[in-house]
Structures are given as structure tokens and as C-alpha cells.
Chains A and B, each alone.
Chain A
């Protein structure tokens, strides 16, 4: 993350090694994407597969923001600023998904029809 104290020599060496690091990270991200696609076909519990997919996506996300977007080498304030937005977004998503579950999103007319059909059956 933030590192404003390294010497010019080490900074230059870091710049030189970035090229190889970028290529390796891109290959790793491609492999993770392949794993994600393979995971959805595995016969495991849904919660486990969802957890694995979320973790793999988070790993890809972190690699991109810390290496490709240079957060690893920039001042820590950039990380804080971005994570403020990220946490607010995550909180908003969590709240929305808690308030409105997928089942509750069924339109009222459809729900009323279902109740009517059920009443007829009873």
C-alpha cells in the first residue's frame, strides 16, 4: 500500500520488475476465471459454491486494484478513499438485498392470482 519512503534505487528496481509482475498477474487472473467457470459444474452444496465464487471474485478484484491500479505503491489515502466508496456500496447492496428478497419481488398482481388460485383449490 502506501510507501513514500523507499529510495530511488529500490523504486527504479520496482518499476523494472513491474512488467513481469503484470504479465504473471494477468495469467493468474485468467486461470482464476477458468476455475470460476469450472466450479459452477461441481456437485457440491450451493452455499459452498457461492462462497468459493465470491472469494475467487474478491481475489481477482484485489489483484486488479492493488497491482494494476497501483494502490500497492500509492499513498494509503487513495486506498482509504476508494474503500469508503466500496464499503458504502457493499452496505447499500446488503441493505437492499435484506429489505427486498428475490421472492418478495413477485409483482402484486401475480401474488394475488396465486392467492386466488389457492383459494379455489381450498
Chain B
């Protein structure tokens, strides 16, 4: 990272201390993404080659796919990319509050995408009897979209860790254990995400099965009371950890870390852009 001599502003796109003029972390991420292109390229090709081997009883992939759900997931991932770009933009300007909000929104959208994928996989297995082992289409489809989903899950975890890191105190109180606070903060965030996903999916499945009524909602609430209490506690803990607590170590100088994470997140988005067309839409032609 280098400073403009005239203004003292940080140049976020160039680093004159490296031989390439590019921040090393950013260069590393671009090299990794280039290699990941090849990884996904082979997975997509394999699926395209073996896509005509659907599970017994479901001869046409388009009878299995659910385009409205996939389109919604695509839209959500695009919006998460927007929020990620805004998070990078915010920290480059030193706006920590805006960056945290954008990171949390990105985490929310990423979690919605993952929830959609869980719903889709569950539907494919139980409604259309397509498992990872009973057909080659199932094997290639779940391997491809599952690998992408794993990338999204890693991205959500990374976003969460960056969010928690942005609260790290500049001068910890002597005798305290700041690492313990950070650990609890991460655990609260992970618990809030997982429990929210569980509750939303239970609600969707319950409404699908029994229809919208007070009795259905009451039944879901009774069955999921522990998850509801856990989610309330987790969100309360998140609110408590986010309270104003003095200066932090995170500022404009950390913009390259957020940008590197953003590169990864946008890559996950562009892979989905290709998967959406090659795997889903082309089946309908």
C-alpha cells in the first residue's frame, strides 16, 4: 500500500513497494482465481457431457429443475456482489460503519443463496428421486453445484470473520482476553446464520406441506422453539458485540484485505452466472 504524496490518500489499486506494482495479497488472489477457473471449467464440462443420464423415472432434466427458484438465487447472488462492492468502496473511504452494514448484507444474501440450495437439493432428492449415486446426472450436478455451494459457504465464513475482525480493539484492556471475545463473536454470528436458515427452511417446508394457517405456524413454533430461543440469543449477542467500544485496529489500511475477499466473492458470482446458463437455462431449449 502506498500514499499519494500530494494528498496523503491511499492508492488502493497500486503498491509501489512490490516489483509488480500490485499488492501481493491481491496478486495471490488473482492467481488462485485463475486456477479455480480451470477447476470449475472441468466440472461444468463433465456435467454437460453426462447430462443425458438422468435418474430412473425422470427422463428429462428440465422436469427436475426449478427455474423460478434458481432465478431467485441468481438475483440474490448478484445483489450480494453489489453489497460486496459497496463494502470495499466503503472501507477504501474509511467508512467502517457502512462497510460493516454491507458485509452483513452480503452475509445475509449469501445465506439466502445457501438456504435456496439446501431447499433445491432436498426437493431433488425427495420429490424427483435424484441422488448423487443413482444417476450420472445426479453425480455431476451435485458435484458441480455442491462445489460452488461450498465456495459460497467458505465465502460467508470469511465475510463473518472479516466482520468480527473489524471490531478488534486498538488498545485492549490489560488483563482481558480479547481473543475470547472475538471467538464468542464469531460463534454468535455462525449460530445466528445457521439457526435463521433452519427456521426459514422449516417455515417454508411446513407451509408447503400444510398450507398457511395459524395452526401450522403454531406447530412450527412449537417444534422449533429451541432454535427460536437460540436465534434470539445469538442475535442479541451480535447486537451486544456491535456496541460502540472505543477505537479499533481496522481502517483504510485494511482495504486490501476486504478487496481480496471481495475478489473471491465476485468470482463465486461469475461462476454462478456460467452455471445458471450452462446447466439450467440451456436445458430449456
Contact = CB atoms under 8 A, between A and B. Distances in A.
B98 to A, nearest CB: 10
Nearest to B88: A70
Contacts of A114: none
Contacts of A36: 276-277, 281
B226 interface: no
B128 to A, nearest CB: 20
Contacts of A82: 30, 33-34, 37
B48 A102 contact: yes
- Give the bracket for the number of chain B residues in contact with chain A: 35 or more
A106 B52 CA distance: 8
Nearest to A110: B53
Main secondary structure of the interface of A (DSSP, over half): helix
Contact of A96 (B46, B269, B284): B46
A76 to B, nearest CB: 10
Given A74-B13, A92-B42, A101-B49, A26 B78 contact: yes
B266 A64 contact: yes
B49 A86 contact: no
Interface of B: 4, 6-7, 9, 11, 13-14, 20-22, 26-27, 30-31, 33-38, 40-42, 44-46, 48-53, 67, 71, 74-75, 78-79, 81-82, 84-86, 88-89, 92-93, 136, 259, 262-263, 266-267, 269-270, 273-274, 276-277, 281-282, 284-285
Given A61-B274, A68-B85, A68-B262, 6 more contacts: A26-B79, A57-B273, A81-B27, A86-B37, A92-B38, A92-B42
